[in-house]
Structure 1
Amino acid sequence: MSNSPKINDSTWTKSTFSDHGNACVEVRIHNDTVLIRDSKFAGDPSLQPIIAVPVALWSDFLSTVSDDSSGAGRTELGIPRVEHDPATGTTTLIDAVETTLVYTAEEWRAFLDGVRHDQFALA
């Protein structure tokens, strides 16, 4: 059972397991894609890196991240590659055009906890 609203097109959504929203994986729906961004980005909002996953592949992406295996993803289909760096504890998402989002271990853990609690299902 979910303990937060599902993702939708009106607002960016983060896991309720995020540390008071200070830094987290954020997602929202836009047309036929689910957008992913990093809340730590501090630059010009028009330059913020965002990865788009087709709505039709969103559940496949969530399955990929739930498997928690490094290198997983199908960028040619629109599912970002997931790379874990054991030395730094970071997790990086990389899309087909090499857009990258780097998350701390805590941010990624909060996102995975949200995925496991069905917080990122489509509305």
Structure 2
Amino acid sequence: MTPDPFFFVGAAICALSLVVCVVAAATKTYPGDAAIVSVAAVELFLVAYGIGAAIRQAGGEALRGEPWEFWGYLATALILPVVAFWWAVLDKTRWSNAVLAAVPLTIFVMLFRMEQIWDGAPLS
């Protein structure tokens, strides 16, 4: 499996967001703008990733795995940051930052799996 640039960019955005959210959880009692914006950056990346994947697939590049599984992962990944955002807005506690921190970590794992599905790599 040779990861494409989308995977590396996504991994970097998720790592940066995770650091911001963990620091926010360790230092604040409520979700700050930096943590919320970092999760919004993850969501923005996912939108761009989805558009890029649709263009690649429409251009003839076939998924080597099951298309329904890839698009299911992407749809689920798009929902997670939105749910975490609303959680952070409605619950002004330190736990909101922990929920925000769980999003980039979860999205990274989902990106890894989507990359496996795209390239047809077996589960390890």
TM-score bin, normalised by smaller chain: under 0.3
More helix by share: 2
After TM superposition, the score normalised by the length of structure 2 is 0.26
More strand by share: 1
**Highest relative contact order (Cα 8 Å, sep 6+), 1 or 2?**
2
